[in-house]
Amino acid sequence: MKTTENQFKELLKEQDAYREALSLVQWDLRTKIPEHGATQRAEVIGLLSQKIHQLATSDQMKTLIDQLKGKTSDPILQRSVEDCEEEYNRSSKIPDEEYKAFITLRSKSESVWQKARAENDFSLLQPYLEELIAYNKKFAKYWGYETNKYDALLHLYEPGMTTKVLDEVFAQVRSGLTNLVKQIRESNVQPDENLLKHHFPKEDQKAFSLDILEKMGYDFDSGRLDESIHPFAIGINRNDVRVTTRYDEQDFRMAIFGTIHEGGHALYEQNIGKSLIQTPLASGTSMGIHESQSLFWENFIGRSESFWEKHFDLFKSYAPAAFQALDFSSFFEAINEVKPSYIRIEADELTYCLHIMIRYELEKALIDGDLAVKDLPEAWNQKMEDYLGIRPTSNQEGVLQDIHWSAGDFGYFPSYALGYMYAAQFHKRMAEDINIEQVIASGDFSSIKDWLTLHIHQHGKMKKPLEIIKEVTNESLNAQYLLDYLTEKYSKIYQL
C-alpha cells in the first residue's frame, strides 16, 4: 500500500509540475507576450494541456485510483483520489487529440479577442466562438446531463449547481434588484460621480493599490501586481500567486476596486493549507466560492464607509490636486453611485448581478441552439436595454468586453453572482464572531483574513462548495442576505 501511495503522489507531483508551467505560460500570454509570439504560444499551451490531460486519463492513473479508493487512511490522499477519479471519469470521455485541439483553439481565440476588442470588430472573433461553442456542446454530451446540457458545463465551475436552482434564485434576486434600482432612480438624492473623474496618473494609482493589497494581507514575497486588459489573479503555486489590474487615468475606481477584487482571489490561493501542496486539492473548491472571496473584499470591505473613512487621507496622499478639496461624504456617496454601466467590471455593486444574468441567459441560448453566434451582438444589446435600460453603441463596450467566451469558458459566468450571494452569507456569519465595522475602521484586517482562512481558505478542495456553505453558515444557498445587505446600504445612501 505504501508503495502504491508513493506512486500516486509522484504522479500528482508530475501533474502539478505541468500545471505550474501551463499557468506561467498563460500569465505571460495575458500580460507580457509580444503580439507575434501569441500563435506559437497557443501551440505550447495546447501541448502542455494535452500532457496534463494524458496524465489524468492514463492507465496508470486508473490503476492507482482503483488500488487506493477507500483503502488509504490518509484523508488528504483519499480526497485526492476522489478528485482524480472524478477528473478521470470526465476527461477520459474526451479524445486526447480533440482536447488538444480545443485548448489550442482557445489560446488562439484569446489573442484574437484582444485584437477584436481593440478594433471593435466582432467578425474577427465570430468563427472562433462558433468553434468553441461547438466543442462545448460536444463535451456536454460526452459528460452527460439529466435535463439541460448547460448543467454539464456549469458543473465544471460550480459542482452541484443546476440551471433549475439558478433560474429560481436569479428570479428572486432580479425582482429585488430591479425594485431597488427603480426606487433609487426616483430618489431626490443623487450622488455626483463626476466628482471622481479627474486625471489620476497610473503610477500613483498603482502605488495606492500596492498599499491596499499589503493592508489586506497579500504576501508580496509570494506574488506581484501587473497590468492586463482584463484583470485576473492566477495561482502558479501556493507561493506564487499573481494579481493583475487595469488602469483608467480618468476613473481610478477601475484599478482600485479591480485590485481589491483580484487581491481577494489571491488571498484564497496564498492561504490554502501547506499540506495540500502538490495535490489537486491546492486550489479553490469552486469558482463560486472563489468569487465569494474576491467580492467579499471588493464590496463588503472595499466599498464600505468604514474602509474609506480610515483610508481617505491615505487616498488623498496619492491623489492629484483635483481630489484634495473633496469632502468625505460626497466622495463616499459618489463611489457607491448606482448607475447602469455598459462594462461589467465597472458596474456598481447593486446592478452587477444583472450583468451576470444577461450573460447566463445568452450562454444557455447559445448552448441550447436557440441563438446563433452571428446574432449575439444584437441579442446582447437588447438584453442590456431590457435589464439595465441602456444600449451599447459599440461591441467594444458590449459583447467584446469579457475574455471568458473567447477562452471557451461557458458555464463560468453564474459563479460571479453565486459568489456574491455566498459572500453575503459569509458576511452575515462572520458578524456573529467579529465586529466587522470596528475591524475595518481600525485598518488592521488580520482578524478578517484569519477568519476566512480558518473557515474557507485553508481547506482548498478538501471540502466541496456546497459543503463549505452548509458548514460555515449552517444553511444552504440563501440569496436573501444579499438583498438585505444591498437594501440596507443603499436605503441609507439614497435616503429611501
Q: Is 53 annotated as a binding residue?
A: no
Inter-residue contact 284 to 268 (CB < 8 Å): yes
Which residue is associated with the grid cell 491596499? 212
Q: Is 227 annotated as a binding residue?
A: no
Indicate the residue type of 382: Q
Cα separation, 140 vs 143, in Å, equals 5
Helix axes of 376-388 and 352-368: crossing angle, nearest 10 degrees: 150
Label the pairing between strands 240-245 and 225-227.
parallel
- Helix (H, G, I), strand (E, B), or coil: what is residue 433? coil
Residue 286 CB contacts under 8 Å (≥ 6 apart), including other chains:
157, 158, 159, 415, 464, 465
Which residue is associated with the grid cell 492514463? 58
- Please indicate whether residue 262 is annotated as part of the active site: yes
Nearest to 420 by CA among 490, 356, 496, 324: 356
Cα separation, 247 vs 230, in Å, equals 10
Q: Is 291 annotated as a binding residue?
A: yes
Inter-residue contact 434 to 420 (CB < 8 Å): no
Question: Is the alpha carbon torsion for 70, 74, 79, 83 positive or negative?
Answer: negative
Catalytic residue among 110, 262, 337, 346: 262
Feature table: binding site for Zn(2+): 261, 265, 291
Active site amino acids: 262
Feature table: binding site: 261, 265, 291
